[in-house]
């Protein structure tokens, strides 16, 4: 069984309340559990073994939400009774399981490196996710085309944003161009229809069968 926040200082069992003292990374706060009264000891051990205790980065966070048998907050009681001891992390041997041990200062270094690594991984993930998103400024620039080429008349606007008036004017120009093209296509269609009708008339005239008259033959009697 793997248990966090427990270790030894020499031959004495300790619970590590803070792995690092703020501003003094080489120091930690511990409690010598064998010196505690039972009304504090038992709830403290239960807190360590609970899901709250095992999921807390610092045991102090869990102890601040756990009460002694007489209803007091354990962390406040430990502080009031002077049970919190500041010692060097190198003096604490963490014992998460019977067959495992590691110096607290070494453990803190590993955990700090892991935390930095997780931050780096998270940042890389955020950058990777952002690749699928488009920068609005880039979208506008693509709409405007190559910045080195002169912008079409009516599309000049300040900054990277196109004004509504400029966009409306551009739409009108496109509509006028399409209307002119449509009129040209309609005229071309009418011309083709007329030409087709003329061709059909010629064909009908040349293929019309000729009227034949029967030759009279003279019969002799």
Residues 89, 19 contacting (CB under 8 angstroms): yes
31 and 87 part of one domain: yes
Tokens of 59: 């045991």
- pLDDT on residue 126: 67
170 and 75 part of one domain: no
Number of other residues whose CB lies within 10 A of the CB of residue 131: 7
**For 109-157, how does the pLDDT look when each residue is reduced to its tens digit (9 = 90+)?**
888 888 777 766 666 666 656 555 545 555 455 545 544 444 444 444 4
> Could you tell me which of 39, 45, 47 has the C-alpha nearest to residue 77?
39
109 and 169 part of one domain: no
Could you tell me whether strands 12-18 and 85-88 are parallel, antiparallel, or unpaired per DSSP bridges? Answer: unpaired
Range of lowest pLDDT (74-88, 190-204, 207-221):
207-221
Residue 63 pLDDT greater than 90, yes or no: yes
When pLDDT is averaged across residues 84-112 and rounded to a whole number, the result is 91
30 and 96 part of one domain: yes
- Residue 130 included in any domain: no
DSSP 73: B
54 and 11 part of one domain: yes
Domain that holds residue 172: 135-145+156-201
- Residue 23 included in any domain: yes
Q: How many domains does the chain have?
A: 2
Higher pLDDT pick, 44 / 161: 44
Q: How many CA atoms lie within 13 A of 108 on its CB side?
A: 20
**For 169-205, how does the pLDDT look when each residue is reduced to its tens digit (9 = 90+)?**
666 777 777 777 777 777 777 888 887 778 777 544 4
115 and 141 part of one domain: no
110 and 162 part of one domain: no
Residue 65 pLDDT grade (very low, low, confident, very high; cuts 50, 70, 90): very high
29 and 114 part of one domain: yes
pTM for the predicted model, two decimal places: 0.54
10 and 113 part of one domain: yes
- pLDDT on residue 184: 76
- pLDDT on residue 204: 45
70 and 116 part of one domain: yes
14 and 117 part of one domain: yes
- pLDDT on residue 1: 73
- pLDDT on residue 125: 67
37 and 99 part of one domain: yes
Tokens of 116: 């930095």
When pLDDT is averaged across residues 151-170 and rounded to a whole number, the result is 52
């Amino acid at each position: 069984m793997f248990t966090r926040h427990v270790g030894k200082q020499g031959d004495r069992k300790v619970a590590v309340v803070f792995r690092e003292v703020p501003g003094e990374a080489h120091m930690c706060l511990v409690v010598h559990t064998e010196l505690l009264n039972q009304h504090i000891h038992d709830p403290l051990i239960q807190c360590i073994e609970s899901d709250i205790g095992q999921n807390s980065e610092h045991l102090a966070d869990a102890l601040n939400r756990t009460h002694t048998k007489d209803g007091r907050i354990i962390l406040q009681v430990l502080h009031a009774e002077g049970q919190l001891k500041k010692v060097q992390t190198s003096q604490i041997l963490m014992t998460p399981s019977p067959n495992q041990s590691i110096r607290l200062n070494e453990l803190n270094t590993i955990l700090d490196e892991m935390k930095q690594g997780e931050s780096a991984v998270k940042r890389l993930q955020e950058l990777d996710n952002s690749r699928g998103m488009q920068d609005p400024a880039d979208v506008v620039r693509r709409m405007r085309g190559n910045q080195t080429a002169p912008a079409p008349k009516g599309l000049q606007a300040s900054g990277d944003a196109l004004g509504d008036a400029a966009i409306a004017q551009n739409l009108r120009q496109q509509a006028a161009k399409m209307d002119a093209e449509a009129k040209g296509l309609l005229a071309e269609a009418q011309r083709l229809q007329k030409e087709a009708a003329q061709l059909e008339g010629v064909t009908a005239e040349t293929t019309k069968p000729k009227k034949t008259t029967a030759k009279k033959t003279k019969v002799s009697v």
